Amino acid sequence: MTIRRIASGGIYEKKIGYCRAVVAGGFVHVAGTTAQGENIPEDVAGQCGSALAAIGSALSKAGCGFEDVVRVTYYLPDAADFPACWPLLAETFGDNPPAATMLECGLIDPKYRIEIEVTALQPG
């Protein structure tokens, strides 16, 4: 079995020792992803959009897209923030919604309001 690793250059990848995504066994496993870049939005919906953009990039590099996602897990420090993300998530996954879980928990830095992790099945 071939394993391919996809890095995104995120600030924690080298510090912690992980990569944005791993392609193995016909699946693409995308690591928990928070908002990216120097100007992190303060609002949860903006952070959700930024995280989804980074995830979309990783999926694209792996040869798939959001329509191939079979599992998604959302991590939020405050579950009350989650409904603000629903319209963006419904738009992102459209007619191909994955199995989903939302957990309320602490994140690596208090500035982050959402982290998203996905698993996709490679087309083919």
In tens, the pLDDT along 41-62 reads 999 999 999 999 999 999 999 9
Distances (CA, A) of 20 to 13, 78, 91: 7, 24, 23
pLDDT at 22 over 80: yes
The reported pTM is 0.94
Question: Beta partners for 71?
Answer: 99, 119
Band (pLDDT 50/70/90 cuts) for residue 102 is very high
The more confident residue out of 120 and 12 is 120
pLDDT at 124: 78
**CA angle, corner 83, sides to 80 and 85, nearest 5?**
120
pLDDT at 1 over 80: no
